[in-house]
Amino acid sequence: MVVDPKHASVNGRKRSQRPHTSPREVADELRARIRSGTLRAGQRMPTQARLADEFGVERGVVRQALHLLQTEHLLTNVSKGSPATVAPDLGLNGAPTGPGAAPQPTMVALGPRIATAFAAPHVEIDALCLTSVSLNLAIGEGLRQIHAGRLNPAKIDVRVLLPGRDIDLAFPVSVEDRGDDDPVQERWLAQRNAQGQVLRHNLLALRATHGIDVHVSFRALPFTPPVKLYLLNGMEALFAYYTLTRRKEEIDHEHLELYDSEGTQSMLFAFEQGAGLRDTTFVEQSHLWFNALWETISSELALTS
């Protein structure tokens, strides 16, 4: 939803009611006002009652939207009592979302975006990655908001593409060829399986605790992905390169030289549907690419040793 800030009720005008406006739409509009300067750093937000009247929604929808913006570090002091405040520092570490935002490390940028995605009634997350460590960590904020009662999606579908265990993995790998007994690759396999199992368990638990219709699927790729990709609700594509380094590390009491990439630090680039032809095309092509891999050369993945 796009609204000209000059028509916002923060300037004294009201709009007709929009009964089906979602928390994400409210958050998107308020985020746009913050970035445009209509709502300035340090300024108090309109009351939740005033925002609810403006957007034609219940206060709970506004409260969810404000909490989403708080997870993005754009608002502070979000509570049921006094109005929230626009964060005083909206520099690089304070604006992790939205098209045109500066790329940031995966661990900084991914969590707030997934929390925003969890505000949708039907959450759809597709991921292509090496181990799902970043995804597992980032999804925690969305889960916490569900358990806190701030978010209540009806359905969650998660699909994850990971490298298969029987391929000649390009990385992580020992610099010295260790054949089939490479402890670096054995550690990767254990991590891939453990992270996938935890991700699946935490999401499927929402069926019992909140009655949410949850589906989690994994498939194995016949190659090592040189990039990571996250697709959120068909609206956003987040893309990062795995940049390799050579380093020494102790594994199973043995000092080894290895080639590896710190995926949590990979710089994440965001592309959003509707943010221009370039972004829209990238999101659409990313979905086509992911679905093609899922439906053709990938295979069933069992998260076991």
Q: What is the DSSP letter of 10?
A: G
pLDDT digits (tens, 9 = 90+) for 173-210: 999 888 778 899 999 999 999 999 999 999 999 999 99
What SS3 string covers 39-108?
A: CCCCCECCCHHHHHHHHCCCHHHHHHHHHHHHHCCCEECCCCCCCCEECCCCCHHHCCCCCCCCCEEHHH
Strand, coil or helix: 134: helix
The mean pLDDT value for 33-54 works out to 83
Asked whether the beta carbons of 293 and 299 are under 8 A apart, the reply is no
pLDDT higher than threshold 50 for residue 3:
no
Asked whether the beta carbons of 33 and 19 are under 8 A apart, the reply is no
The mean pLDDT value for 248-268 works out to 89
Q: Which of 118, 108, 104, 102 is nearest to 68 (CA)?
A: 118
The mean pLDDT value for 284-298 works out to 98
pLDDT confidence of residue 93: 36
Name 297's Cβ contacts closer than 8 Å, sequence gap at least 6.
221, 222
- Order of strands, edge to edge, in the sheet holding 254-260? 173-174, 254-260, 245-251
Measured between alpha carbons, how far is 35 from 164 in angstroms, rounded to an integer?
42
Residue listed under structure tokens 């570490």: 93
Handedness of CA 128, 131, 135, 138 (dihedral sign): negative
Measured between alpha carbons, how far is 169 from 193 in angstroms, rounded to an integer?
15
Strand, coil or helix: 296: coil
Percent of the chain with pLDDT over 90: 49
Most confident of 146-150, 175-179, 224-228: 224-228
Task: Tell me if the bond preceding 112 is cis, omega within 30° of 0.
Answer: no
pLDDT digits (tens, 9 = 90+) for 104-147: 888 888 988 898 889 889 999 999 999 999 999 999 988 998 99
User: Residue 40 is which amino acid?
Assistant: R
Measured between alpha carbons, how far is 102 from 95 in angstroms, rounded to an integer?
8
**pTM across the whole model:** 0.70
pLDDT higher than threshold 60 for residue 7:
no
pLDDT digits (tens, 9 = 90+) for 267-277: 999 998 877 89
Measured between alpha carbons, how far is 51 from 37 in angstroms, rounded to an integer?
18
pLDDT confidence of residue 18: 43
Neighbours of 166 (CB within 10 A): 9
pLDDT higher than threshold 80 for residue 162:
yes
Asked whether the beta carbons of 82 and 67 are under 8 A apart, the reply is no
